[in-house]
Structure formats: C-alpha cells, structure tokens
A = this chain, B = another copy of it.
Amino acid sequence: MTFDILILGCGAATPTAKHLPTSQLVNLHDKLFLIDCGEGTQMQLRRHKIKMQRIQHIFISHLHGDHYLGLVGLISSMHLLGRKNSLHLYGPPELEELVKLNLKVSQTYLEFPIIYHPVSGNELKLEFEDKTLEVYSFPLKHRIPCHGFLFKEKTKPPKIRKEIIQEYNLMPSQILLLKNRKEVVLENGEVLTVENSCIESSSPRKYAYCSDTMYWETLVPFIKDADILYHESTFLDSESDRAKATFHSTARQAGKIAKMANVGTLVLGHYSSRYNSEEDFIRQALEEFPNVVASNEGMVIQL
C-alpha cells in the first residue's frame, strides 16, 4: 500500500530563489493529505500534476504566513474548477475566521462544504481515522500555538494460515475471533491462538511531521518509533542562539530528537534563507543521528 510524502516546499519564512515555503503532500493508501500550505502550494501541485480535487483533508500546523498563505488561493481554485466534495480543514481555531473573511471580500460562494476541525491541546489527539489509517495532532513549542501531525497505518489483523483454516474447517465466527486476537477453543478441546495459527502482518508505518518548533524533548513520546520524522532545522550550530530566540531548531537539535525518538530516518527542512546549501545541515545532524536526508522541492520520500 502506498505511503509516501511529496515535498512541495521546504524553505522558511522569507523567500529565496531556491526554496518555497512549507507544504507537503502525504499519499497514504491513495488518500491525499496536504500538510501546511505556504504561498505557491497550488502552483506546485499543478507542476507535479497532482489533481487538487483529490485532496480532502488539509492540516495547517500554525498561522505563520509561510505555512498557510497558499490556502485561500487553493480553496478558490478548487471552487473555480468545479469542486462539490467536502474539504476538511484541520488547524488553529482562527483559521475559520481567516478563510471566511477572504471568501467574503471576494464574494466567493463555495459550492462545496468546508468542515473546520480546530486543533488545540497538549496531548496526542486523534483528528481523523478510517478503516486503515489514523492522523493525530500533537503540540510543538513555537512562538505561537503550533501542532505537529502523525500519520499512521492501523495495525492490521493477523492473517490466519491457510492450512489451519482447511485443517479445522474454521467457521467465519472462529476466523473473526482469531483476527481479533482471541482464542478459539475447538470441540476436541484444542486451542487455536494467534501464535499457533496466524502470520502477523508487517508492522504499521508512521510518519511524524514537526513543522516549526524549538528543541523540545516533550515531543519525543508523540513521535516515538516513527519510520520517518520530518523535523524542522531552520538554523545551523552557528545560529543556535537565534534558533532559541525565534523558537526554531538547529539541524543538530533535530538529530538529537530523532535519536531520542528512535525514528527510522530524519528528514530536515525549513532552512533559513541565509544559507545557500544543505550540506552543513546534513553534516551537523549526522553527528547526532545516523540516517539523515535533506528535503528539497520535488523530493518523494517513500515509507
């Protein structure tokens, strides 16, 4: 099943010729989720031939412009291109007022509903789920309220070995019991368990997204064991004071968090416009954690 992330923008607040402001597209089991929507996101979607109407859920981490200023343009284009399907917006409570004011001044009357899901709180919180996946929000530590998002597959039920089904001629109700990890006691007194009758499915995959945050160990439990962690790295060691003052992280700090959280791979991004290359970001993070990738526009990360 598909689980990948397309980097649409990975620069920080002021524009550069090299990077666009933050946005990522998560394809999880062929559902498209947009995370953050900086200025230019709709142009990036077009450039990468993504059908914007396939996006049903948009998650906005916080209301700094480089994370949401592309949202109203995207919504307007969805409208102009004839959208009828609901759009779910997850983000700070003020997002609703912002979107509504923009639609009001442009006298835009959408023909599709927007369902607002205000994101707040200090815990891991389930925001969306369907049969096979879940999306959680969790707090980050930034200058204004800010949340990260965790995309994960649900644990799949164990598969019952074919020969067991045939040998014991299992009934549907017995199969269901095993899939729900319960024991089945047969007429002859024999007991079937997950251990003696099933094959465990591959372990569910997790992607953790930490858009803008200072170094904050409190978030480690929320992102524990993620296969991929995107953690902002606005600055290098040389600007660590500035990182603290502006509630951002250095690449090294991102590496430390990745190590503590025992993630698979760390993806860096949100580079300050003062830097021309990502080499030093990778080098400094690698001194803390062995698997590091520097995000770039157009990169696809597969889980």
Q: Interface residues of A: mostly helix, strand, loop or mixed?
A: loop
Q: B81 near A73 (CB under 8 angstroms)?
A: no
Q: A107 near B46 (CB under 8 angstroms)?
A: no
Given known contacts A47-B17, A143-B107, A65 and B98 CB-to-CB distance under 8 angstroms: no
> A69's contact among B14, B17, B69, by CB below 8 Å, is which?
B69
- Interface residues in A57-77 by Cβ distance below 8 A to B read 63-66, 69-70, 72-73, 76-77
> A65's contact among B13, B21, B72, B81, by CB below 8 Å, is which?
B72
User: Roughly how many angstroms separate A236 CA and B26 CA in the complex, as a whole number?
Assistant: 38
Q: B69 near A73 (CB under 8 angstroms)?
A: yes
- Interface residues in A1-34 by Cβ distance below 8 A to B read 13-17, 20-21
- Interface residues in A64-107 by Cβ distance below 8 A to B read 64-66, 69-70, 72-73, 76-77, 80-81, 92, 94, 97-98, 101-102, 105-107
Q: A65 near B76 (CB under 8 angstroms)?
A: yes
User: Roughly how many angstroms separate A144 CA and B104 CA in the complex, as a whole number?
Assistant: 11
Q: Does A42 contact B (CB under 8 A)?
A: yes
User: Roughly how many angstroms separate A97 CA and B102 CA in the complex, as a whole number?
Assistant: 10
Residue of B nearest to A41 (CB): B39
Q: Which 7 A-B pairs have CB atoms at the shortest separation, nearest pair first?
A: A63-B105, A94-B105, A65-B76, A39-B73, A15-B43, A14-B77, A69-B73
Taking A15-B42, A98-B102 as known contacts, 12 extra A-B pairs with beta carbons closer than 8 A to each other, sorted by chain A number, are A13-B77, A14-B81, A15-B77, A16-B46, A17-B43, A39-B40, A39-B42, A39-B43, A65-B72, A66-B73, A69-B69, A98-B105
Give 12 A-B contacts (CB < 8 Å), ordered by A residue.
A14-B77, A20-B43, A39-B39, A39-B42, A63-B106, A65-B72, A65-B73, A69-B72, A69-B73, A92-B105, A98-B101, A98-B105
